[in-house]
Structure formats: structure tokens, C-alpha cells
Amino acid sequence: GDLLNIASVLQSLRILMDWRSHCAGINTVLDERFSMMTANKYLEDKIRTAIISPEEMSDNASPALYDIRRKLRGLATKVRDQLDKMIKSKTTQKYLQDQVVTMRDGRFVVPVKAECRGEVQGLVHDTSSSGATVFIEPMAVVEVNNDIKVLQSKEKDEIERILSELSAEAGSFSESIQDSYVIAVELNLIFAKAKLAYKMKASVPELNDRGEIDLMKARHPLLAADQVVPVDIRLGSDFDTLVITGPNTGGKTVILKTLGLLTLMAMCGLMLPVADHSKISVFRSVLADIGDEQSIEQSLSTFSSHIKNIIDIMETADEQSLILLDELGAGTDPVEGAALAMAILEDLRSKKSRLAATTHYAELKAYALETHGVENGSCEFDVATLRPTYKLLIGIPGRSNAFAISERLGIRTEVVEKAKLLVSTENARFENVVESLEQSRKGLESEREQTERLKRAAEEIRLEAEKKSELLKREYEKEIEKAKDAARTIIDKTKMETNRLLSELEEIKKQASDPGENLRRAKAAIKSGLHAVENAADPVYRKEVDGYVLPRPLKAGDTVLIRDIDKKASVITPPDSKGEVLVLAGIVKTKVPVENLKLLTNETVPLL
């Protein structure tokens, strides 16, 4: 069994390493652990080949074992054949109880009637419980049975030898197997943590050892994700004690359990089902008194069971403790219970522990309001629907809502009003203050939600503007690139025309013998070439002729539009013999073909 367990471990290690090899090229923080693992397929295969199950050794475990078992099968067949002939013989059948061959103490025997035992020669190995049958090994097969016993002994010795050899070989690899096994267990734990974190949609909190807790949108990991209400829990930063009040079934105990469980999960290295940037502290101990532990056998009441737990907590608590107390001071006289609860809180606070306690006592609400470092918290309750919202409100004491709930459930208004009159003035004032705080909180929360909506809208507008700006920037860069390409094309054309002109001049110089003719041809070539160079270097594309005709001949002072560049100009001189007009565009005088001009108005402008 142990060798098969080793083979299973080796198989798991090999599968794990094969899986990692299929992810080659992906670097992770676990690579160092994987690199420290070693597979041993040689030993794994050797164990699997030799051992079939904890009870059976394979024939192929060794050549000697294979030979022994082959001989055993041959002898067993020989014995059975001899005994089959005997039980089928008419001479012997009358002495037999049954016509079967069976085994006793590893030897083949036949069942003989007790009264006929002397008729069958052989060795008696056993008797039936009734005494009516004796199991006799006939003398004809004794020698063969002896040979079988010898071979069985050899088989046992060979199996012992094989197991000893396998054990020794496994022992020679023990160090690498143990080291790889430890790493595999660590990886299994890491993957289990990751799987749980993925299932809980968890995140990594910011850890500290200062007792500071700030859990945002915390969820109890054991409650259904689609039903649990996320809560925000703070403790240990600006206050060290949180007193939570509210109606029954409002979620107070769940909040305590969530706080305790998430703290322990963080201390175990687990990710938490909280929002990003949440904070949690590592404590030396988490001490809790939650639930009703009354015991009939020990004659302990609810109050006694709580006090017994609290005594243990008070003896253990220190500055590195998180203490969770559910229904502190409950189960006894309200006045004495509230006083005792305050004294317990003071004692635990003096040890600099972090505390979270739930209660129904109004005195503890006032204590939290008056004491520095102690903060009220409440579980919100919707009176309109008579349902808790399960939200934790820190800084606001909970209201009992008894009057409002009773009235909503149908108690007559006059009964409720009379009950209000019976409440002490101090309590009434306190409840009015709490109600005022609650209304202010709801107003602020509504304003905060509206601000958040406006903030989100502004953020969407900003992102949209950035998107458009980025799009315009890309378009601008694209146009610039196109302009650069066009400029490069113009330069290339200009260079080409210039080189052609120079080549042509050089050719004229070589071919012409008459200097006058040479000069004339050179001038014509230069004029034609310069015109080609000008056209190649001109980046302005001529507009297509649209059939426009001047309404009258141009004269000095006319206002015209140079059509191909959409620029106004003033006529200085009418068209010359070449059909070119001298115009003034801004401060630049230039000649423009008359067909490229458009008369804007019949008015004229004075020329300077």
C-alpha cells in the first residue's frame, strides 16, 4: 500500500509538471516552486509494473516470480485433473459427500463421508462442523501438493525480495520525493486559494498590524452572493470600539461574523470578498462571544454563558486582539446589564484591544456618543416596508422603531401615543436626536448620490472629449503625413525637371556649331524647362474651367478674384499681348492669366 501511495504521488507530480510545461513562455511568481520539483517516471513505472493492488503482485514483477507462478499453475492443473478423475469414478463416487474439489490449508482435497473415511486413502485435513464430512487429500496427489507448497513458499520469498528491493530504491529517492511533495502541497493550497478567490470575486486587501480595519463592500463568504448585502465596516483608525445597535434580524450578528471571519481569512493568506483598496489588520488573536450558549447540563443561563465567555476573553485580551461581543449584557436586568456592559467595554479598552459589540441598550448608545474613541453604528431599518436593509451606518445610533413598527402592524394610534407619553423625557429627547440625525443622514446620502451621478456624467463627458481630441489628433497627424508625402513628391519632380533641363543644355552645347543658333536653342530650352520646373514646384492645383467669361474687359482699378488661390486682387494694368494681367494681391505684384481672373463687382478701387 505504501509503495502504491508513492507511485500515486509521483504520478501527481508528473502530471503537474506536464501541465506547467504546456504553459511555457508564461512567467509567474510560482516558477521557482515548479523548478524545484522533480518527476521520477522510472520509479513510478517500476512500482506500477510490479504491484497491481495492495493484495496482488504482478507476474511481471520479476522473471523468477513469473517462472514460479507458471509452475504453480501447471501443478494446480495437474492436481485438479487427477482429482476430477477420482470424483467422476463410479468406484469413488459412493464415498463422496459432494463431487467437488476444494482446498484446505492450501492443499487440494475432496469431501468424503465420515463413515467412509477408511475407503479413501489419504490425509485428513479438516472436518465439517456437523462431523458428517471429512476433507481428505488422496495419496495420489500428496506429492504434487507438496511441490505446490514448496513453490508457494518460494513465491512468498520472491515477493518479499521484490518489495524490499522496491522499498530500498524508493528510499534512495526519498529526499527529492519529499521535497517535491511539500512543494506540490503548497501549490495545491495556492491554487485552492485562487479558486476560492475567483469564486468569491475577491480582492487583495492592504494589510497592516496597527489594528486598522476599513472594509468596503464586504460580503460574508458563506452567504449566497446574489442575496448578501455588502457592508462597509471601519474600526481602529479614529475609534477603537464600535457599538452596533438595531432591531432583531437586522444583521448585527452577521456583521460581527463577517468582520471576524474576514480577519481570520486575511491572517490565513486568503483574498477577501471586499472592494479594492480595503484595509485589514493582522491580530495575534480574535476573541468572540457570539450566539446563545446556554447549557441545561451545566445549569448555565444565557447570561451566565455569556459572562463565562467574557471572563475568558478579558483574561486573554491585549493590544493585539480583536474582540467581538454579541448582545453584550443581555439576559439580565436592563439597568444592571447596561452598567455591566459599559464596565466590560472600559476594561477591554484599557488593554488597547479593538472591539465591536452589538446591543439593544440605549445607555450604550449614549456611552458611545459621550466617550472618545467609541463610535455608534446601526443596522438600517425601513419602517415603510418593515424590513431591514442590512446596511451598517457608522456614526449613527440605531433606533428601536418599536412605536413605528407597532403602528404599521395595526395597533391603534391612541395606544401608541399613550406609550410615547410613558417614555422618559431623556429617552424621548434621545430618540428625537437620533431621528433628526437619521433624516440628516438620508438627506446627505441623497445629495451624495446626486453628486456621484453628476460626477459620473462629467467623467463621461470628459472621456468623450478626450476621445474626440485623440481622434482629431490622429487626423491631424495623418494630414501632416500626407502633406509631407506631397512635398517630397514635388521636390522629386522639381529635381527631375532641373536635371533634365541641365542635360538638355549640355546636349545643345555639344551638338550646335553655330553660336547664334546655339544661343537661340538654349534660350528656348531654358524657357520651356523653367516653365516645367515652375509647374512641378507649384503645389496649388489649378481649378477646373467652369465656363466663366468676363462680362467686360478689365481695366485698372477693377477688383478681381484670382480663381486658383481664391484671393482678391486689384488690376494694375489691363491684359497685355500675352493675355496676362498685372495685379496687386496684398503687397505682392504678380502677373496672372486673364482666364484665371473673375471680376467681382463693377466697382473700382483707387491704386496707390
Q: Which residues of 411-443 are buried (b: 16+ CB within 10 A; e: fewer)?
A: eeeeeeeeeeeeeeeeeeebbeebeebbeeeee
Average pLDDT, the chain: 82
Q: Nearest CA to 396 among 367, 376, 366, 368? A: 376
pLDDT at 520: 62
Distance of alpha carbon 36 from alpha carbon 313, whole angstroms:
44
Q: Is the pLDDT of residue 549 over 90?
A: no
Q: Which residues pair with 111 in a beta bridge?
A: 135
Read off the pLDDT of each residue in 329-335 and give the average, rounded to a whole number. Answer: 81
- Look up cell 474626440; give the residue: 468
Q: Binning pLDDT at 50, 70 and 90, where does residue 67 land?
A: very high
Q: Binning pLDDT at 50, 70 and 90, where does residue 446 land?
A: confident
pLDDT at 295: 46
What is the per-residue pLDDT across 80-110, written as a single tens digit (0 to 9) for each? Answer: 888 888 878 877 777 787 888 888 877 888 8
Most confident of 263-272, 298-307, 474-483, 599-608: 263-272
Q: Nearest CA to 392 among 381, 401, 403, 383? A: 381
Q: Is the pLDDT of residue 608 over 50?
A: no
What is the per-residue pLDDT across 562-604, written as a single tens digit (0 to 9) for each? Answer: 887 778 889 999 998 888 999 888 777 888 888 888 888 755 5
What is the per-residue pLDDT across 139-177, written as a single tens digit (0 to 9) for each? Answer: 888 888 888 889 989 999 999 999 999 999 999 999 999
Distance of alpha carbon 343 from alpha carbon 358, whole angstroms:
15
Are residues 311 and 323 in contact, defined by beta-carbon separation less than 8 angstroms?
A: no
pLDDT at 299: 43
Q: Binning pLDDT at 50, 70 and 90, where does residue 218 land?
A: very high
This prediction has a pTM of 0.59
Are residues 258 and 220 in contact, defined by beta-carbon separation less than 8 angstroms?
A: yes
**What is the number of helices (H) and of strands (E) in the chain?**
15, 21
| Region of residue 249 (left: phi > 0; alpha: psi -120 to 50; beta: else) | left
Q: Name the DSSP class of 202.
A: -
Q: DSSP readout, 434-456? A: HHHHHHHHHHHHHHHHHHHHHHH
pLDDT at 294: 45
β-bridge pairing 213-218 and 231-235: antiparallel
Q: Determine which of 103-112, 227-236, 399-408, 588-597 has the lowest per-residue pLDDT on average.
A: 399-408
Are residues 98 and 121 in contact, defined by beta-carbon separation less than 8 angstroms?
A: no
Determine which helix (DSSP H) or strand (DSSP E) holds 288, and give its type and residue range. strand 285-289
Distance of alpha carbon 193 from alpha carbon 185, whole angstroms:
12
Q: Binning pLDDT at 50, 70 and 90, where does residue 28 land?
A: confident
User: Residue 297: what residue type?
Assistant: E
- Look up cell 485589514; give the residue: 280
Are residues 580 and 593 in contact, defined by beta-carbon separation less than 8 angstroms?
A: yes
- Look up cell 522639381; give the residue: 494
Are residues 278 and 216 in contact, defined by beta-carbon separation less than 8 angstroms?
A: yes
- Selected residue with higher pLDDT from 507 and 72: 72
Distance of alpha carbon 114 from alpha carbon 110, whole angstroms:
12
β-bridge pairing 374-382 and 241-245: parallel
pLDDT at 184: 94
Determine which helix (DSSP H) or strand (DSSP E) holds 414, and give its type and residue range. helix 413-422
3-state secondary structure of 376: strand
Q: Which residues pair with 593 in a beta bridge?
A: 580
Distance of alpha carbon 218 from alpha carbon 201, whole angstroms:
11
Distance of alpha carbon 66 from alpha carbon 113, whole angstroms:
39
**Domains of the chain, CATH where assigned:** 2-40+173-197 (no CATH), 61-171 (1.10.1420.10), 204-399 (3.40.50.300), 558-604 (2.30.30)
What is the per-residue pLDDT across 110-126, written as a single tens digit (0 to 9) for each? Answer: 888 888 877 777 888 88
Q: Determine which of 13-22, 395-404, 531-540 has the lowest per-residue pLDDT on average.
A: 531-540
pLDDT at 400: 62
Read off the pLDDT of each residue in 347-372 and give the average, rounded to a whole number. Answer: 89
Percent of the chain with pLDDT over 70: 84
User: Residue 54: what residue type?
Assistant: P
Q: Binning pLDDT at 50, 70 and 90, where does residue 3 land?
A: very high
Are residues 116 and 95 in contact, defined by beta-carbon separation less than 8 angstroms?
A: yes
C-alpha cell recorded at residue 54: 495492495
Read off the pLDDT of each residue in 61-82 and give the average, rounded to a whole number. Answer: 90
C-alpha cell recorded at residue 319: 493590544
3-state secondary structure of 532: helix
Are residues 231 and 258 in contact, defined by beta-carbon separation less than 8 angstroms?
A: yes
pLDDT at 434: 58
Q: Which residues pair with 382 in a beta bridge?
A: 387
Read off the pLDDT of each residue in 286-302 and give the average, rounded to a whole number. Answer: 65
Q: Which residues pair with 233 in a beta bridge?
A: 215
Q: Nearest CA to 241 among 356, 346, 327? A: 356
Rounded to a whole number, what is the largest CA-CA distance in the chain? 162
Q: Determine which of 32-41, 357-366, 466-475, 507-516 has the lowest per-residue pLDDT on average.
A: 507-516
Read off the pLDDT of each residue in 42-66 and give the average, rounded to a whole number. Answer: 91
Q: Is the pLDDT of residue 292 over 70?
A: no
- Look up cell 485562487; give the residue: 194
